[in-house]
Chain A
Amino acid sequence: MLGPDPSWYLVVAAILFSIGAFGVLLRRSPLVVLLSIEIMLNGANLALIGFSRVHGDHDGQIFALCVMAVAAAEAVVGLGIIVAMSRRRLTLDVDQFRALRG
């Protein structure tokens, strides 16, 4: 088998996912939150491809392609919202939007 052991891929995937998750949790700018989500998705993609390699079939790669499509769509919507927000001159701070507070 070429390349490093598949478990390394999973470690990298986990690191990517965690970086993304902490970004989502800690950052306030919606743009950065969106970027962090993209990183989480790519971490997940990497894990899927790694599993595909382990199992020796293509299911995981197909899943990864689907996730990419979803990520593209999500980026479009998320960026659209952010553009709309900045056009209305709203503060770009996710903590300001807490109308659903109990």
Chain B
Amino acid sequence: MIQGAWLCLLAPLAGAFAITVMGDSIGRRTAGWIATLAVFAGFGGAVAALVGLLGHGEEEREYVSTAWTWLDTGSFQVGLNLVLDPLSATMMLIVTGVGGLIVLYSVGYMDGDDEERRYFAYMALFVFAMLLLVQGGNFLLLLAGWGLVGLASYLLIGFWHERPEAVAAAKKAFVMNAFGDATMALALFVLVWQTGSLAFAESFAGTEEMSSTALNLVALGLLGGAVAKSAQLPLHTWLPDAMEGPTPVSALIHAATMVTAGVYLICRAHPIFEAAPAIQDLAAGIGALTLVVAGLVALVQTDIKRVIAYSTMSQIGYMFLGAGLGAYGFAMFHLMTHAFFKALLFMAAGVVIHHLAGEQDIRQMGGLRRLMPFTFAAFLIGSLALVGIPPLSGFFSKDGILASALDAGAYGYLLFAAGLLGTLLTGLYTFRLFFVVWGGDPSPLVERHAGGGHGRQSERAASRAHGEPHGGEGPWTMLLPVGILAVLAVVGGWLQIPGVWHEFTHWLEPVAEPLVEPSLGQELLTSSLAVGFGLVGVAVAWLFYGARRREAPDARGVRDVLEHKFYFDELYDLAFYRPAVALSALWRRGIEEPLIGGSITGVTLGARRAGTLVGGAQTGYLRSYALAIGFGVVVLTVVFLAVR
């Protein structure tokens, strides 16, 4: 069982290592297969761990396996240890399962790219980092994984490094995440100082003796890390830009796994958050705000991947809402179903982008329905699951979170209202995208690519033209994962049916006891309301974009605000970037140039002048030297004689 967990962790690392070491001696495709195999081996390990856990009683399902003591500084020790409990097992299964499918998809998607080996090494490295994050048995390992996924994300967003936008997006993501990493590290310093340990169990036990200020600081720092990693307000601006990376990267890192790490962190560190209720409420509030804001911005985006990226932010907002309220089971459940349907949407979008030779602008698309029936069906399933139409997976998980909000008092009602508004927006933006891309008559661009047997290209003009033509919608390596995820997006929610069974929340209960327990009545009320609002959104979208009965309303001011994404980028530019640039310019002109640079030029100039001065004595006339020597001897003699 625990061996399974170690296999799960180390297989992707071995894969990344193998691809790196073998370099040019293996083919590009082989690198892809090695990565796929490594991640699926990890999935096998995760399944073994799951089976092992299921074989034990409910209260005994927590194992900590220590390989060795990693840091040993007096009374403070950190081991290289893994934790295996229902929470980490769930994350392991999601990361390696969905991750494996996405790496398999990449084999087809990235085929023919110049630097495929590097891509697959990064992908395997990412999966390892994510597993380290979710399996680490103490906060330090969690932080190490936290930083490593940030690194892998940076490397993969900037994978097409010849494109300046991709490089800029990678840097932006890295800096934003570094900010979160820093607050998290500070929180851990306080935690070590107060409790003397970073192991989960001991530090949670130590929270009882901490002052409320210290607890709030720790919780706030952890929340800062979670907010940055999960692209929640106000540290969300990197996620839409991260869509510059290859589409499978967006599916794996920026939809299914890494961005949900914040939710995992809140669930994992729930004793700390529960001891700091104000921060908990803050987390829920941030989630509610993000889900509405992201939903609004998604309404006006024109890039297919950016619409889905904003949708991801919005859905993670739901998870934060749930986790902040203490509905850990539902938050994790939504994390899982979201991983299914959002990865599905991204990969279906990737098939479209692949087919249209890198076009991502939805205004250029349209009428793809007849051209790509399989992808159409998959995208429809993903969209319905995202909106939360029963019996697809999103329905069960999102409604559980909203029902929990009903159970959480007055503040909960506010969050509930925000969540309902969110479902309306979800229906609207999802089906706006859906109708624009798939409905109507084929656009000129689509007509041009309708032939089927054209040369393929991966995204944008920067990618190279690939010779090998193909018919149909794409290679099987791309369509198979899409199909599997479509099935999962349908059935994934059936683990948890209100009033019938609560397998998923029950499974997580030993790790994180939920604070709220919605009654069946609340669940039914929520479900009817949420589905109703979602359908209204879909209907409005149909009216404007499907049937085109009516022009979409065009309020100039509102559209401006939304198209500028609520001016967050501009605000940060004004508040941080410009002052920093102005300040550094001031330092340069006021300190660096006159004082530091000036002193150095002064020294060199002085030396040069002194040299010129003294050098005048060296005439080059042998006679003058001899005279000087003779004169010196005379002077010395006189001096000696006089002194004596």
Contact = CB atoms under 8 A, between A and B. Distances in A.
Interface of A: 21, 24-26, 94-95, 97-102
Contact of B623 (A25, A99, A100, A101): A25
Contacts of B621: 94-95, 98
B620 A99 contact: yes
Interface in B599-636: 614-623, 626-627, 630
A98 B627 contact: no
Contact of A95 (B614, B617, B623): B623
A25 B615 CA distance: 21
A99 B614 CA distance: 17
B631 to A, nearest CB: 10
Given A26-B623, A95-B622, A98-B619, 14 more contacts: A21-B626, A21-B630, A25-B626, A25-B630, A95-B621, A97-B620, A98-B621, A100-B618, A100-B620, A101-B618, A101-B620, A102-B614, A102-B615, A102-B616
A98 B620 contact: yes
Interface in B484-514: none
A33 to B, nearest CB: 8
B617 A102 contact: yes
Shortest 9 CB-CB contacts between residues of A and residues of B: A98-B620, A102-B615, A102-B618, A101-B620, A100-B620, A94-B622, A25-B623, A25-B627, A24-B626
Contacts of B623: 24-26, 94-95
Contacts of B615: 102
Contacts of A99: 620
A102 B616 CA distance: 6
30 contacts: A21-B626, A21-B630, A24-B623, A24-B626, A25-B623, A25-B626, A25-B627, A25-B630, A26-B623, A94-B621, A94-B622, A94-B623, A95-B621, A95-B622, A95-B623, A97-B622, A98-B619, A98-B620, A98-B621, A99-B620, A100-B618, A101-B618, A101-B619, A101-B620, A102-B614, A102-B615, A102-B616, A102-B618, A102-B619, A102-B620
Interface string B248-277: 000000000000000000000000000000
Nearest to B618: A102
Contacts of A94: 621-623
Contacts of A24: 623, 626
B614 to A, nearest CB: 7
Contacts of A98: 619-621
Interface string B439-463: 0000000000000000000000000
Contacts of B614: 102
Contacts of A100: 618, 620
Contacts of B620: 97-102
Nearest to A22: B630
B267 to A, nearest CB: 79
A94 B625 CA distance: 12
Contacts of B616: 102
Nearest to A21: B630
Contacts of A102: 614-620
A102 B618 CA distance: 5
A99 B630 CA distance: 22
A21 B630 CA distance: 8
A24 B623 CA distance: 7
Contacts of B622: 94-95, 97
User: Which of B617, B618, B621, B622 has the most chain A CB atoms closer than 10 A to its own CB?
Assistant: B622
Nearest to A95: B621
A96 to B, nearest CB: 10
The listed residue with most A CB atoms (<10 A of its CB), out of B615, B618, B623, B626, is B623
A37 to B, nearest CB: 10
B629 to A, nearest CB: 10
Nearest to B624: A25
A95 B622 CA distance: 7
A21 B616 CA distance: 24
Nearest to B617: A102
A100 B616 CA distance: 11
Contacts of A25: 623, 626-627, 630
Contacts of A101: 618-620
A102 B621 CA distance: 11
A97 B617 CA distance: 16
A97 B618 CA distance: 13
A32 B614 CA distance: 31
Nearest to A30: B622
Nearest to A18: B630
A21 B629 CA distance: 11
Q: Which residue, A26, A94, A98, has most C-beta atoms of chain B within 10 A?
A: A98
A26 to B, nearest CB: 7
A101 to B, nearest CB: 3
A97 B619 CA distance: 11
Nearest to A33: B622
Nearest to B613: A102
A10 B112 CA distance: 101
Contacts of A26: 623
A24 B627 CA distance: 9
